[in-house]
Structure 1
Amino acid sequence: MQAICYHRYSSKRQDRGSSIERQVERTGDLCARKGWDIIETIEDRGQSAWKGDHLSVGNLGKLRARIDAGLISPGTILVVENIDRLSRQDYRTARRWIEDVTDRDIIVAVHSPELILDRHAMSGANIGAMLQHLLEANRATAEGNRKSSMQKATIEKGLKLAREGVVYSPRAPAWLIAKKGEAFRLNEDRVATINSIYEWSAAGLGYETITKRLNATVPPWTQGWKDGASKWRIGYVRDILSSPAVEGEYHVRTGPGRKPTGEVIRSYYPRIVEAELVERARAAIRTRMGSGGAKSGEAQNLFGGIASCSVCKGSVGRTLTGNGRGRRYAYLECRNARYGICKAKGKIRYDHVEASVLEKLLHLALDDTHFIAPDDVAPLASRLANARKRAEELTQEAANLIAVLRKLPESAATLTALADIEAEKAATVAEISKAEIELDIARGKVSPGEHLIRVNDVRDLLTAEDDEARFAARLRVKAAFQNLIDGIEFDPLRGVATVRLVSGLGAMHITSDGRAGFLDLVREGRDYSDTPLAKDFIRRRDAKKPRAR
């Protein structure tokens, strides 16, 4: 007789366990003892028997469709480890499913306890098999209910501890070392890598570029659950850059599919990335999402996504118009007006707006973060973390030796060891200072005068002949303006563009003939300490302005 073996487990995490292997062994054993030929093996991985999805849309559901279509020969045996593999829903659901397939002369065979369910058994003609099936189905449902209740109680107990700040599980993000009941410990090398990922994102690198850089420089921490390959993956990099855990937050998830409950436990994990860097990295991601992909018209419109029409509030885009003599000019124009939706027709020369904004705002928009050297940050951050860790170890070693000297003040060996430790500690402290300076430079921190020089260098690149250099510079400037400019409102009736800065820091008006005026709205005496962008803006504003163009 021909047999089809069916195996299933509930969650993808069980893929690393022995669930499938055990089921294969048991269904194979039953077939061998009965002399059945296995013609097919079907698996549903990560399908819960509580939801019953596998009965209709999983591979078992596909088998059912083949049975209904008459593609499976009558007398074929469907072999499972136990009734649980078919369903943990109520008894009637499982019974109806088995009745439907046995009505088509398909036999269901169960390994534990051993059951043979055919049309006669399900009709009650074989009362012994029917009673056994009833008992087993009820047992499976009861067992499932018991496990579910125990699991829910365990989860709630763990969440109660988490709300009290107690580490209730050894499971933690890959950059943390967790032991139940103890405080989280940091894996310093991995923390440095996480910060480098955020720095790279803030500097404008995309998921793919960051992933390639990691695979070239950092050994992977995880394995793919499907192929078992050890490598950095774009999805994992994306998860890291969106993870609330880097800010110390535990977002509670529970139930099938680990769906979020909406509860957030703050400060459960130690924060490993500063809030300002998190915001810069994620703001850069949002900016890239609206950039239109590779090339993106060489980022010709530095104000894409932030310009709107004052009349209809629709978006304003960059358009090209010829003058009939072979020359073409770029304009900012309401998109709705182009399609006849907005009646306020009017344009303003794009080059006038760009030149005015560059002159007044470029040195304010390009902060230190736009001059980060991503290739240097990761090794320097790792070197600094290791030096700080060694300094802490030396401090503890010195304290231990001092405790010994209190008991044995004449110990020459201890005095020598203490002197060696103090010498190494002094060298380590010097190394920390050096690494901090080098890391600041790699992160783009320079004097106001040096900043103005590099800003002018970037402005020169905006019109460079080299396509790649020009494209990179325009993307950098576009990202900087996206962070500084809250919006540009174009009035097509007056031919005026109004540029508003974030946090009410300032505004500028640009007329159709290119005249521009900047209004500084920073209020003296106001505390801007809670707004890092505003603090940086004021610092750069107070520096000498760049050379005239």
Structure 2
Amino acid sequence: MPKAYAYVRWSTAEQGDEGRDSHHRQTTPLQAFTEVTGIPVVETVIDKGISAFRGANARIGQLKGLLDRIESGEIEHGDYIIVESIDRLTRQKLTDSVDLIQSILKKGVRLHTVFDNKTYSYDDPSRDLETLILVGVIAKRAHEESDTKSKRLKSSWLKKRDAAETTIVSKKAPYGFRYDEQSQSFVIAEEEAQEIRYAFELLKYMGVIETLKRINQNSKRKWRKTHIRDLIKHKTPIGVLCLQRRNDDGTKAFDRYVPGYFPKIIEETEFDAAVSAIQSRDKENSRGRRSPNNYNIFRHCIRCHEHQCGMIFNLQGLGNHSKRYAYLVCTDKAEKVCECENRVRFELVFGAFLAFVKKLSENRYIDERTQEKRKVFTWFSQEQYKQMDTVNDAFSRFFSVRDTSAPKEEIRAKKGKLNTEKHTLDMLEASLAQFDGMIPQIFIKRVADSEARINTLEKEIQSLEGALTIEAETLEITTYQDILDLYETEEGRLKLNTFFISRGIVFEVNTNKESNMVGLIVRIKGEENFELHTYHNFPTEKPLKDFGISDLSHIIK
């Protein structure tokens, strides 16, 4: 006994919403078909929100699966495909529509349209001409109807796009804004905007998941990853409107940004810095869980000197857990690769870093003297002066503004290329307006290639400017006390860690357990000749007393 397969389609997602009749209208007659013919409808295949105008449903939609099953013989000779009308299957040009329908009928599968209660098949060769004419007329009418609608929608969309440059095209406000009827403009919704500012500040130093956890503790809405993604994609926090266009297959595609459409919640530099930080973390080869409350300021920038591998932050409690102690452990030791003894209390490494900064800051404030005066000045030897110069240079390279001339020049060069590419696209679009009729494929490809190059250059510039913002940030450090003050807060700890990573600073640790001495070798990635050593002996009790505190137990809890 033959079987029937129903195919249902609507062009936009909205047509399938509750209260719309697309689904109901196309499926209601199926029961009547079975009652009249006795043939059961065994399956209903639905393409939701996909167009048939360019044949997207037959290429990537559920219809493709149905056609494949006909081709393979799973849907057999004598079976039925039921549609509301021919235009549910195809709205392509006449020849393409006829080819698609012929591919169904040639397999002996019948096509039934419930709208006019007609059945098309190859069972009766005498009706071939009639079938071809009917299908052709219906298909041509459907294509012309869709073509007219497409042109109207495109014209309407173009008008809306151009209007957005000077006027407000919709009062619907994204999160962080509201439409003010009195001024007839968008204004900042301060409570929501504060959440957005907080999010972008956090994203400079931590991942999206951790950022969401913190925002959601006191937020007006429950933030999700999609909210962060949309803010970055649409750029609304910097006052931009993201315009999109609808493709022939019903999907949406980016068209252009309209700057100045909304008031700014954050500046472009802050936006770019957050985006650049996200991209940088995505590219990192090193992974690993953050320490609780970001206690480990050396995350991803510390390694065991002996084995040249990373060190794991391990938080433990002692006795009645009145105090908690953190350790840095050689990764090879933790993974049982070696029997390395490099397991050291975190606060001793932290203390060695304080000693390093103390050494830098003390030498930094020694009065500068001319070479002539140095020759007659007897407090220090010439070798000691050379060491002081090395240390002073290190301090300036650690805690002052970094030389940004190279990345700035790269940004300038890319902006020049971007302006040239935009001018090229403008000329291509001007030429496009001169075409009457079909546009050559090679011309379309040139426009698409130009748009792709512009998109790539804009992303590269954004990434460079964001990285530059982070790298250009300075820490107000003059003494080790400033390090202690920063370590008191999680925000300060994050800033320290980000600063080390962005500057390429690497710390290597070696220890002497017998003397309780910790050595720290400080390097800068990409600078082979830069290497500073510091060693510090710590008392067993109150190891940080030289720096005005006993230990870190008042912070690490």
**TM score, norm. by length of structure 1:** 0.55
Q: CA RMSD in A?
A: 5.0
Match of 1:269?
262
* 1:67-216 alignment runs, 5 A limit: 67-120=70-123, 125=127, 127-163=129-165, 165-177=166-178, 182-202=184-204, 204=206, 206-212=207-213
Q: Structure 1: how far apart are the matches of 2:479 and 2:89?
A: 68
Q: Structure 1: how far apart are the matches of 2:22 and 2:396?
A: 62
Give a deviation string over 1:296-353, Cα, whole Å, max 9, x none. Answer: 799989485999xxxxxxxx9869799x9955599xxxxxxxxxxxxxxxxxx99999
Give 2:53's match in structure 1, choosing from 50, 54, 58: 50
Match of 1:10?
11
- 1:146 maps to a residue whose letter is T
Q: Compute the displacement of 1:208 (Å).
A: 2.5
- 1:234 maps to a residue whose letter is K
Q: Compute the displacement of 1:10 (Å).
A: 3.3
- 1:244 maps to a residue whose letter is K
Match of 2:271?
278
- 1:50 maps to a residue whose letter is F
Q: Compute the displacement of 1:100 (Å).
A: 1.5
- 1:511 maps to a residue whose letter is E
**For the structure 1 residues 284 and 248, does the alpha-carbon distance in structure 2 shift closer, same or farther, using more than 3 Å as the test?**
same
Give a deviation string over 1:150-173, Cα, whole Å, max 9, x none. Answer: 01100111112112x201234552
Match of 2:234?
243
> Does the 8 Å CA contact 1:49/1:85 hold for their aligned counterparts?
yes
> Does the 8 Å CA contact 1:26/1:111 hold for their aligned counterparts?
no
Give 2:287's match in structure 1, choosing from 268, 272, 293: 293
Q: Structure 2: how far apart are the matches of 1:48 and 1:240?
A: 29
> Where does the alignment leave 5 or more consecutive residues of structure 2 unmatched?
312-329, 361-394, 402-475, 509-520, 536-546, 552-557
How many residues matched?
Answer: 377
Q: Structure 1: how far apart are the matches of 2:194 and 2:63?
A: 46
> Does the 8 Å CA contact 1:26/1:81 hold for their aligned counterparts?
no
Match of 1:400?
none
Give a deviation string over 1:211-237, Cα, whole Å, max 9, x none. Answer: 4455665464xxxxxxxxxx6432223
- 1:169 maps to a residue whose letter is S
- 2:76 maps to a residue whose letter is S
Matched, 1:455 2:483: yes
**For the structure 1 residues 6 and 185, does the alpha-carbon distance in structure 2 shift closer, same or farther, using more than 3 Å as the test?**
farther
- 1:233 maps to a residue whose letter is R
Match of 2:365?
none
Match of 2:244?
253
**For the structure 1 residues 514 and 23, does the alpha-carbon distance in structure 2 shift closer, same or farther, using more than 3 Å as the test?**
farther
- 1:268 maps to a residue whose letter is Y
Give a deviation string over 1:80-133, Cα, whole Å, max 9, x none. Answer: 222222122212222212211212221112233443221257x67254444332
* 1:395-474 alignment runs, 5 A limit: 455-456=483-484
> Does the 8 Å CA contact 2:108/2:121 hold for their aligned counterparts?
yes
Q: Secondary structure at the match of 1:159?
A: helix
Q: Structure 2: how far apart are the matches of 1:199 and 1:450?
A: 25
Q: Compute the displacement of 1:148 (Å).
A: 0.6
Identity of aligned residues (%): 19
Q: Secondary structure at the match of 1:5?
A: strand
* 1:319-468 alignment runs, 5 A limit: 327=341, 356=356, 360=395, 364=399, 455-456=483-484
**For the structure 1 residues 547 and 239, does the alpha-carbon distance in structure 2 shift closer, same or farther, using more than 3 Å as the test?**
farther
**For the structure 1 residues 363 and 154, does the alpha-carbon distance in structure 2 shift closer, same or farther, using more than 3 Å as the test?**
same
Q: Structure 1: how far apart are the matches of 2:152 and 2:498?
A: 51
Q: Secondary structure at the match of 2:185?
A: coil
Mean CA deviation greater in 187-196 or 132-141: 187-196
Q: Secondary structure at the match of 1:132?
A: helix
Matched, 1:511 2:504: no
- 2:230 maps to a residue whose letter is D
- 1:77 maps to a residue whose letter is Y
Q: Compute the displacement of 1:147 (Å).
A: 0.7
> Where does the alignment leave 5 or more consecutive residues of structure 1 unmatched?
221-230, 308-315, 331-348, 367-447, 462-468, 501-506, 516-545
Q: Secondary structure at the match of 2:127?
A: coil
**For the structure 1 residues 455 and 26, does the alpha-carbon distance in structure 2 shift closer, same or farther, using more than 3 Å as the test?**
same
Q: Structure 2: how far apart are the matches of 1:124 and 1:56?
A: 32
Q: Structure 2: how far apart are the matches of 1:449 and 1:479?
A: 15
Matched, 1:60 2:63: yes
**For the structure 1 residues 172 and 458, does the alpha-carbon distance in structure 2 shift closer, same or farther, using more than 3 Å as the test?**
closer
**TM score, norm. by length of structure 2:** 0.54
**For the structure 1 residues 247 and 114, does the alpha-carbon distance in structure 2 shift closer, same or farther, using more than 3 Å as the test?**
farther
Give a deviation string over 1:424-449, Cα, whole Å, max 9, x none. Answer: xxxxxxxxxxxxxxxxxxxxxxxx89
Q: Structure 1: how far apart are the matches of 2:101 and 2:72?
A: 16
Q: Secondary structure at the match of 1:119?
A: coil
Q: Secondary structure at the match of 2:6?
A: strand
Q: Secondary structure at the match of 2:195?
A: helix
**For the structure 1 residues 74 and 449, does the alpha-carbon distance in structure 2 shift closer, same or farther, using more than 3 Å as the test?**
closer
> Does the 8 Å CA contact 1:318/1:350 hold for their aligned counterparts?
no
**For the structure 1 residues 131 and 237, does the alpha-carbon distance in structure 2 shift closer, same or farther, using more than 3 Å as the test?**
same
- 1:117 maps to a residue whose letter is Y
**For the structure 1 residues 70 and 514, does the alpha-carbon distance in structure 2 shift closer, same or farther, using more than 3 Å as the test?**
same
**For the structure 1 residues 141 and 276, does the alpha-carbon distance in structure 2 shift closer, same or farther, using more than 3 Å as the test?**
same
Give a deviation string over 1:376-404, Cα, whole Å, max 9, x none. Answer: xxxxxxxxxxxxxxxxxxxxxxxxxxxxx
Q: Compute the displacement of 1:45 (Å).
A: 2.4
- 1:207 maps to a residue whose letter is V
Q: Structure 1: how far apart are the matches of 2:90 and 2:279?
A: 44
